[in-house]
Amino acid sequence: MLNWSVIETFLDFDVALWRWIFSQVLGVISIVLMFIAFQTKTKKLILFLFTIGIACGVVATAMLGNWVLMGLLALSLVRNIVFLIMDKHQEKISRPLSISVLFIFLIAKIIFVSFTFEWWLDWLLLAVSLFSTYGKWQKGTHLIRISSITFSALAIVNHVFFSNLTGIAIDIVIITSIIIFYVRFFIKHKRSKENNQIIEDQPSIDESSETIEPTTE
């Protein structure tokens, strides 16, 4: 039988057993979604999978009483939904409006942390969260991955403090997934360059074929 007192001593964090288990189940769902998200190539699919994963994260962090991270994730959830809508109707949205929406989310996160911060790491999480927000606002996908690695690295420290084992696993998976993506990316890029070099080094048909002139007697 599961001895919760042993687990509670190991975790050193006062939380009901059912809340801890529920948060970990949601964390496992997030792990799968986050890993798949960073193996995709389109911004729309990354944001979509990330949005579902973050929704699980919001509930999971609330179960553990990690209110600052929950608030940041909740704002990120709303942000992703808005950014998905903006991407879908980007031809109808002006540049000034798009920038205004970006700054609204940046300011909202700063205000939230200003009133709810609990320790110094919350400010670092805020800083990389702002970077992550910008990464998901711009059109490319590389900045999304780079900002996510930074945020996940600091989030791991936060999860350790709140004994969120699955949260730690989620961010490790995010970092691992991004590293795997870039390893695959550079291998594919290297092979592509090698194949192009082989094609360039091959003699052309005119150069490799010898024309046999007919002899006349």
217 compared with 50, residue with greater pLDDT:
50
The residue with tokens 């940041």 is 72
Burial class (CB in 10 A: 0-12, 13-18, 19+), 152: buried
Answer yes or no: are the C-beta atoms of 209 and 69 closer than 8 Å. Answer: no
Q: Which domain holds residue 140?
A: 7-197
Question: How confident is the model at residue 52, as a pLDDT?
Answer: 92
Q: Is residue 205 part of a domain?
A: no
State which H helix or E strand residue 190 sits in: helix 165-201
Answer yes or no: are the C-beta atoms of 135 and 38 closer than 8 Å. Answer: no
Q: Rounded to an integer, what distance in angstroms lies between the CA atom of residue 84 and that of residue 78?
A: 10
Q: Rounded to an integer, what distance in angstroms lies between the CA atom of residue 16 and that of residue 10?
A: 14
Percent of the chain as helix, strand, coil, to the nearest 5:
80, 0, 20
Confidence of residue 202 (pLDDT cuts 50, 70, 90): low
Q: Is residue 170 part of a domain?
A: yes
Q: Is residue 2 part of a domain?
A: no
* Range of lowest pLDDT (5-19, 50-64, 104-118, 149-163): 5-19
pLDDT over 50 at 210, yes or no: no
State which H helix or E strand residue 158 sits in: helix 142-161
Answer yes or no: are the C-beta atoms of 38 and 145 closer than 8 Å. Answer: yes
Confidence of residue 1 (pLDDT cuts 50, 70, 90): very low
pLDDT over 80 at 176, yes or no: yes
Q: Is residue 135 part of a domain?
A: yes
Q: Is residue 177 part of a domain?
A: yes
State which H helix or E strand residue 107 sits in: helix 95-116
Question: How confident is the model at residue 7, as a pLDDT?
Answer: 46
Per-position b or e across 124-140, b if 16+ CB within 10 A of its CB: bbbbbbbebbebbbeee
Question: How confident is the model at residue 211, as a pLDDT?
Answer: 47
pLDDT over 70 at 200, yes or no: no
Number of domains in the chain: 1
Question: How confident is the model at residue 201, as a pLDDT?
Answer: 60
Confidence of residue 50 (pLDDT cuts 50, 70, 90): confident
Q: Is residue 206 part of a domain?
A: no
Question: How confident is the model at residue 138, as a pLDDT?
Answer: 80
The mean of the pLDDT values for the chain is 78
Burial class (CB in 10 A: 0-12, 13-18, 19+), 120: exposed
Question: How confident is the model at residue 12, as a pLDDT?
Answer: 44
Confidence of residue 2 (pLDDT cuts 50, 70, 90): very low
Looking at the chain, the whole-number percentage of residues with pLDDT higher than 70 is 83
The residue with tokens 């999978």 is 49
pLDDT over 60 at 151, yes or no: yes
Question: How confident is the model at residue 212, as a pLDDT?
Answer: 46
The residue with tokens 């729309």 is 44
Q: Is residue 1 part of a domain?
A: no
Q: Is residue 212 part of a domain?
A: no
